[in-house]
């Protein structure tokens, strides 16, 4: 089996598990914080959505959609702090729909990438210090990053007594 098939299976499984962690949540639950600064589901999904468009841009050059503007980025970037104000976030259906759309584009592009595409130097010199190639970032974006935040959602569920997924 080619390595890309294993990778696509893994990121597909990770996404499936992530979506199961929020499937039974209401829009009201999406911004609940059991303690200050806890990453709630709306922030996690928005953060992953922001990251997915960075992932897509890295591998395809495709820019972000108009709705992913500076305000969206500020709300969900890695330096932002989630707040419990539901009005500052989108409904759950928005995140799920947009995450599905961007992931389809990512998978389509990954299927066409060559070994040389993955071995290309990371275009950002600052990130290149930690992630020297496009392939390094592809692995980070698709596996570790999403699984890390899915773990946060799993813990968030457990703290509230919600069933495990």
pLDDT digits (tens, 9 = 90+) for 111-144: 999 999 999 999 999 999 999 999 999 999 999 9
Q: Per-residue pLDDT tens for 54-70?
A: 999 999 999 999 999 99
For 51, other C-beta atoms within 10 Å of its C-beta total 19
CA pair distance 30, 27, nearest whole angstrom = 5
Backbone dihedral region for residue 93 (phi beyond 0: left; psi -120 to 50: alpha; all else: beta): alpha
**Residue 2 confidence (pLDDT):** 82
82-94 core/surface letters (b: 16 or more CB in 10 A; e: else): bbeebeebbebeb
């Amino acid at each position: 089996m080619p390595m890309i098939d294993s990778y696509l299976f893994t990121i597909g499984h990770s996404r499936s598990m992530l979506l199961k962690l929020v499937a039974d949540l209401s829009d009201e639950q999406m911004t609940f914080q059991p303690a200050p600064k806890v990453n709630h589901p709306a922030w996690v999904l928005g953060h992953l959505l922001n990251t997915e468009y960075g992932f897509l841009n890295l591998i395809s050059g495709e820019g972000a959609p108009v709705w992913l503007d500076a305000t969206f980025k500020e709300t969900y970037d890695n330096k932002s702090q989630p707040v419990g104000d539901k009005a500052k976030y989108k409904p759950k259906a928005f995140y799920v729909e947009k995450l599905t759309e961007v992931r389809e584009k990512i998978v389509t592009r990954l299927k066409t990438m060559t070994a040389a595409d993955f071995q290309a130097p990371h275009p950002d010199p600052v990130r290149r210090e930690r992630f020297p190639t496009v392939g390094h970032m592809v692995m980070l974006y698709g596996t570790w990053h999403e699984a890390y935040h899915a773990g946060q959602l799993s813990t968030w569920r457990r703290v509230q007594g919600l069933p495990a997924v």
